[in-house]
Amino acid sequence: MDNNSRQEAKRIGKILLRIAVTLLLIIITLVAAVSMAASYGFTAGLIAAVIGFFICSAVTKAMKKSGSDNMSEDILPDILMQRIELKEYSASKRFDDPEIRRTGLLSGFTSADGGAYIDGSVKGIHFVRCNIELTDRDTEEIYNPDINSYEKVTSDNKVFSGYILRTEHQIPQYAGVKVCSDTANAPALYRNGEKLRSENGISVFSSIGENVPVALTNGLSALVAETGDPAAAAVTDKYIYLAVCTNDLPFKSKAFRSIKANSEKFTAQTEQLVRIVERLNFLDHVR
């Protein structure tokens, strides 16, 4: 049995284990609910069933995430190293909240999650990227006719799903330039500064006036366009950040997808990542 076959057998074994654990939890929950109902009445049984349901959901979700992370850690680094000079890969690591806010693109959120952290280089261009999902908690007062009064209602709304890529630069004098897809769902939540131009679905903004090199704006525009998704790029004093909006998060394995299928998906996503990073070579021509 070759290595791929062993990994596939291991993956199937983990899936069967998750199914067995889930079924066992369901049986325990049903037995507990029936027992509580017989001893203390229907309400007690219902409460036990609800509590058991939440426990089952939490355990199943944790096991599924663990299985996906383990698969990514087993097969993804080797795929990445075929095209990238890989320094670090982590299935769960991400940019911290303060850095996400410092991008100047994604500030309107209250909580963040993410993973698929990749630190590496392509043809001498260093980059770091990770998946990011942002949620914003909103509280508003809504009139309730049943009580003839207003009451506060809190809801959590996903405001961004995608990934962020970061690279260093030597042009701090151009901090404040932003380029984004000229679409309603582009991830540029804050568009400060003067709008310089809009063409081919790309908008350029700047907080430093119009003295921006064409090589910089064209390079950032090409970078945004290369993603194929709604995206935005921003120049800060140290980094260029690229935020790409997509619900199909790259480098995230599917628990019920075979190792071969996940590998093929990861390979295609690695090629796209390489193409995006290579677009950053325009920085050599910006002074």
Instruction: Give the Cα separation of 283 and 286 in Å (integer).
Output: 5
DSSP-derived letter for residue 283 is G
DSSP letters along 81-118, please? HTTSEEEEEESS----HHHHHHTSS----SEEEEEEEE
Residue 200: per-residue pLDDT: 58
Confirm if 263 and 271 have CB atoms less than 8 A apart: no
Write phi, then psi, for 225 (nearest 5 degrees): -65, -35
Confirm if 203 and 182 have CB atoms less than 8 A apart: yes
Nearest Cα neighbor of 51 from 29, 74, 20 is 29
Q: Give pLDDT tens digits for 219-239.
A: 999 999 999 998 999 999 999
Mean pLDDT, each 10-residue run in order, the chain (287 residues): 50 57 66 64 59 59 51 82 96 94 86 95 97 86 78 82 96 91 59 48 72 89 92 94 92 74 91 97 88
| Chain centre to alpha carbon of residue 237 | 24
Between helices 259-278 and 3-40, what is the axis angle to 10°?
110
Q: Give pLDDT tens digits for 202-222.
A: 777 777 767 888 899 899 999
Q: Give the sheet arrangement for strand 194-199, strand by strand.
A: 85-90, 111-122, 125-144, 149-168, 239-245, 231-235, 178-181, 202-206, 194-199
User: Domain limits of the chain?
Assistant: 1-81, 85-285
| Chain centre to alpha carbon of residue 190 | 19
Q: Sign of torsion, CA 13 15 16 18?
A: positive
